[in-house]
Structure 1
Amino acid sequence: MQPFTRLTSTVVVLPVSNVDTDQIIPARFLKTTDKNGLGASLFADWRYLPDGSPNPEFVLNQPQSQGAQILLAGDNFGSGSSREHAAWALLGWGIRAVISTTIADIFRNNALKNGLLPVVVSPEVHERLMQIFGSDPAQRLTIDLASQTLELPDGSTATFPIDPFSKTCLLNGVDELGYLLGLEAEIARYEAQRQF
């Protein structure tokens, strides 16, 4: 997993509330346990027309979205079923962070375990971000995980919460198992000293 420390990127603005995991990646794409290639199916029912061609009206298909690594979504992002594929699809497309006012718990946990940073901000900060990046998609946002801050184009900042364990894992680019394996020497020392 790639470490997440500091990210500066343009922002994809998806001002839609209640985006659920079936909209993020429809169920017909869940037949695989392989993460590779799922980015092509991200928001498939919105990204593609019935004939399979890209929908030019959908934000991910627009030129200003190409290369963006931050998704600014409406309220209540990631609700619905517990499909890890939703986080995989976002990462596969190139998204490293999702910002919303609320992010569903199961989606948030799947995101954190796969290196995708879920950022929850207040409605006031969210509205400001929507105004800034909705009016000028060339603007860039910086997310600094160590300080848990967003650095806006005008130089102002906003903070966001994250639990300490998830933060440590993201900063070091490890999942829960990788974190435990990093403690292997300490575990071996403890086991060697244990008395039965």
Structure 2
Amino acid sequence: MSQIALPLAQGLPADPASIVVGNANAHVAEALADPSNWPFGTAILMGPARAGKSLLARWFEGAGKGSAIDGADNWDETELFHRWNRAREQDEALLLVADGDRWDITLPDLKSRLGAALHLEIGTPDDAMLADLIQSHATRRGLALGEGALTYLVPRATRSFADIEKLVAMIDRLTLERKAAPTQGIWRDALEAVQGPEQARLL
């Protein structure tokens, strides 16, 4: 399983809640590792819910690479413009984190500045990253998924960071409720609870 503290992001400290690095976010990790070439010292990070944007922002800031504003799309635009100016005056890299894949900015001065920034987006995990995400969530819970779990779950699971987290949580819940180790019956029921019966029964 690739973690963000590998050579891909050399020089940055490990995070206790290690972020899985895969096809969907490797380019983000590389960009955050070296902000020296960011246009105007600014980057905007966007992506789906539960994709690790906040963890990446804390990791970036904790490494001393610059400052990060999580939920920047919820800030007052005038205040955010002043914060951008201050970062430029201090020659400080500034990472702005926003939800989704679209951020409509109405303040002209801010819109022009951020339009020139480096735009980063977390994409959709492939099978390899999906397997790593499932295993990572299980490890954090101290949950043994059972032999063959990834082979069964990966083709049936939706490519959603939020749903993968819910899926592992549901497997954990069902094992506790039934006082049984995870097997195909529990995997299937967890998939059905999170995604619906059709997805759970795919061949």
| TM-score (normalised: structure 2) | 0.23
Structure with the larger strand share? 1
Structure with the larger helix share? 2
Question: Which of 1 and 2 has greater Rg?
Answer: 2
Which one scores higher on RCO, CA 8 angstroms, separation ≥ 6?
1
| TM-score (normalised: structure 1) | 0.24
